[in-house]
């Protein structure tokens, strides 16, 4: 199988999203965790943005040894100089240059023409390659760029020394078929440069970031840029944990493997939430609170008989301690019996039926039945069944 390089940009693109700013110590803490997770490249920051970002980039570059460390720069001399200063301590540095290539961006944002953009790109890639062992070039807004001009830019960047070409779906505009077709065309035009690595960087504005990333892999991309919890500008980036699990579960479909350690996905997600104070939505794939939680009775019954009925990967595989069978108004009797047994109460059919009836009544008001609720209910049922003057087994039940 081919190796898919995982380029983690949580510390750069992810940090740019509102509410996710991190200081140097927080970036270092998360960078260490991402390195342990197995990301091949960690983008440490955008050094020209501020003195603090330059300082944080240098700190990450000095400490991270296994992963390659990247720094972002526009195709401008001052940007490149700042990025190179940030990368000075790195054992395995990568200079990541970018410039917009779509006519929309060239005209309305940069206010330059195609020839001027191409000149900037070639000069800065050539300069960067003279000062850094590895250069990646990104054509910002590639998915909305004229394909002939895009190929012209890519070939020029490669001939000036770029060995990784990233073609971002910067505004999440593309569909999987369109995105894959773009990469196939670029690869075909790069016939004389078969060793150049093509990279995908997808945003989730239409909810297609993961789908577009997978389509790009189908089209020959061997680096995907993504973030923990999918954080990033606007609706975010392709989610690293979703990509990792999709490739693991559907390894019969995608002929690539990664260096990621899946059991570190959940702890890494939790660390990011702790650092930023922003939790993931409960329905978030892989790492959300409900990703391995089941309330519907039919689902709970299936899980109890064979987890594969309603889970495509066991929670422990991605570092989630255990699945949860949530007891609520949609739950079935088997889930209640299983939870009561875990709490130390073996029930008769009659006891279970009454517990279930009382629990469902309570669930209509409280939404979820807690362990405390369930213990109260089983005691209530057993007290009601105990003849007057007879000794109750409540104490024995509690001791269990």
pLDDT tens column, 339-391: 899 889 999 999 999 999 998 988 888 878 888 899 999 999 999 887 655 55
Q: Is the pLDDT of residue 307 over 50?
A: yes
Q: What angle do CA 87, 40, 147 make, to 5 degrees?
A: 85
**Is residue 359 within 8 Å of 373, Cβ to Cβ?**
yes
How much is the pLDDT for 45? Answer: 97
How much is the pLDDT for 323? Answer: 87
pLDDT band at 324 (very low <50, low <70, confident <90, very high): confident
Q: Which residues contact 200 (CB under 8 A, 6 or more apart)?
A: 166, 167, 168, 169, 179, 183, 212, 213, 216, 217, 221, 223, 224, 225, 238
How much is the pLDDT for 283? Answer: 94
How much is the pLDDT for 397? Answer: 40
- Grouping H, G, I as helix, E, B as strand and the rest as coil, residue 99 is strand
Q: Is the pLDDT of residue 326 over 90?
A: no
Compute the distance between CA of residue 303 and CA of residue 140 in angstroms, rounded to an integer.
Answer: 45
Take residue 160 and report the two structure tokens written for it: 């000036």
Q: Is the pLDDT of residue 277 over 90?
A: yes
pLDDT band at 325 (very low <50, low <70, confident <90, very high): confident
- Please state, rounded to an integer, the average pLDDT across all residues of the chain: 93
Q: Quick one: average pLDDT of 25-32? A: 98
How much is the pLDDT for 389? Answer: 54
**Is residue 161 within 8 Å of 191, Cβ to Cβ?**
no
Pairing of β 93-100 and β 5-8 = unpaired
* Closest C-alpha among 131, 107, 198, 185 to residue 158: 198
Q: List the domains of the chain with CATH numbers.
A: 2-276 (3.20.20.70), 293-399 (no CATH)
Compute the distance between CA of residue 224 and CA of residue 168 in angstroms, rounded to an integer.
Answer: 10
- Grouping H, G, I as helix, E, B as strand and the rest as coil, residue 355 is helix
How much is the pLDDT for 369? Answer: 87
How much is the pLDDT for 330? Answer: 87
pLDDT band at 290 (very low <50, low <70, confident <90, very high): confident
Lowest mean pLDDT among 14-23, 170-179, 201-210, 388-397: 388-397
**Is residue 142 within 8 Å of 169, Cβ to Cβ?**
yes
Q: Quick one: average pLDDT of 188-209? A: 97
Of the chain, the percentage scoring pLDDT greater than 90 comes to 81
How much is the pLDDT for 50? Answer: 96
pLDDT tens column, 130-171: 999 999 999 999 999 999 999 999 999 999 999 999 999 999
Q: Is the pLDDT of residue 29 over 50?
A: yes
How much is the pLDDT for 363? Answer: 84
């Amino acid at each position: 199988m081919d190796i898919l390089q995982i380029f983690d940009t949580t510390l750069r693109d992810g940090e740019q999203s509102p509410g996710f700013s991190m200081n140097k110590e927080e970036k270092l803490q998360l960078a260490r965790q991402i390195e342990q997770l197995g990301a091949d490249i960690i983008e440490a920051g955008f050094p020209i943005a501020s003195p603090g970002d330059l300082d944080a980039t240098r700190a990450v570059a000095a400490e991270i040894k296994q992963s390659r460390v990247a720094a972002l720069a526009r195709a401008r001399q001052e940007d490149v100089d700042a990025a190179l200063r940030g990368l000075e301590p790195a054992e395995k540095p990568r200079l990541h240059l970018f410039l917009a290539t779509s006519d929309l961006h060239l005209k309305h944002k940069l206010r330059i023409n195609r020839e001027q953009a191409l000149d900037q790109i070639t000069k800065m890639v050539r300069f960067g390659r003279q000062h850094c062992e590895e250069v990646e070039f990104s054509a910002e807004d590639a998915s909305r760029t004229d394909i002939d001009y895009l190929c012209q830019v890519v070939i020029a960047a490669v001939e000036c020394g770029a060995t990784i070409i990233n073609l971002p779906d910067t505004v999440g505009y593309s569909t999987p078929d369109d995105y894959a077709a773009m990469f196939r065309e670029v690869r075909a035009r790069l016939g004389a440069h078969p060793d150049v690595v093509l990279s995908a960087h997808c945003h989730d504005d239409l909810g297609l970031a993961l789908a577009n990333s997978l389509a790009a892999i189908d089209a020959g991309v061997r680096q995907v840029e993504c973030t923990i919890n999918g954080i990033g500008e606007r609706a975010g980036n392709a989610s690293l944990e979703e990509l990792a699990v999709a490739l693991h579960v559907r390894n019969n479909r995608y002929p690539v493997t990664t260096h990621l350690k899946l059991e570190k996905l959940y702890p890494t997600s939790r660390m990011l939430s702790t650092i930023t104070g922003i939790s993931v939505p409960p329905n978030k794939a892989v790492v959300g609170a409900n990703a391995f939680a089941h309330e519907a009775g039919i689902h709970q019954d299936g899980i109890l008989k064979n987890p594969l009925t309603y889970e495509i990967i066991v929670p422990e595989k991605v570092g989630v301690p255990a699945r949860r069978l949530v007891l609520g108004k949609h739950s079935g009797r088997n889930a209640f019996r299983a939870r009561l047994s875990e709490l130390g109460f073996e029930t008769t059919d009659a006891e279970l039926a009454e517990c279930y009836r009382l629990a469902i009544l309570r669930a209509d008001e409280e939404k979820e039945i807690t362990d405390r609720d369930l213990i109260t209910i089983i005691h209530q049922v057993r007290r009601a069944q105990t003849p007057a003057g007879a000794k109750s087994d409540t104490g024995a039940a509690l001791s269990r």
